[in-house]
Structures are given as C-alpha cells and as structure tokens.
Amino acid sequence: MRKSSLALLALASIGLGACGYSTGDRAASGGLLGAGAGAAVGSLTGNAGTGALIGGAAGAAGGALTNSNQVDLGRPVWR
C-alpha cells in the first residue's frame, strides 16, 4: 500500500511540475519535481539514484511537452 501511494504521489508531482510560462520553466520545474519524487520512490526499492534519473527525465519531458494553455499554475517562484 505504501509503495503504491508513493508511486501515485510521484505521478501527481510530475503532472504538477509542468507549471510556468515558458517551455524551459516547465521542463526545469518538472525535472526537479520528478527527480525528487523518483528518488523517494526509488529509495523504497534500494536504488534512489536510478529513481531520480527516471523521475527527472519523465518530469522534464512532461514539462517540455505541455504548453501554458494545458497547465497554468501561475508564475514560478524564481521569477
């Protein structure tokens, strides 16, 4: 149950990581959130590094492939 809850949280984080005005903003925030979520899920299986790489790549791709009309959660905190 715990593993499936964390996997669901990771997927939700990747989806929410696509916020920002530009494609670069969405890719960066998606990559960072995906890496964190992937590391958290990967630590349960004993390989946090691989989880971070996979989650980061998935999050960056998700952020880069969306546009501001699909997901607009506002201005990024670093802007």
What pTM did the predictor assign?
Answer: 0.60
Mean pLDDT over 16-38 rounds to 76
Give strand ranges (E) for 13-74: none
Q: Using the predicted structure, report yes or no on whether residue 22 has a pLDDT greater than 80.
A: no
Q: How far apart are CA 15 and CA 77, in angstroms?
A: 17
**Confidence at residue 5, expressed as pLDDT on a 0 to 100 scale:** 67
**Confidence at residue 72, expressed as pLDDT on a 0 to 100 scale:** 58
For residue range 29-70, what is the model confidence (pLDDT) as tens digits?
888 888 888 888 888 888 888 888 888 888 888 888 877 666
Q: How far apart are CA 7 and CA 35, in angstroms?
A: 13
Closest to 28 in 3D by CA, of 62, 4, 53: 62
* Six-digit token string for 78: 């670093």
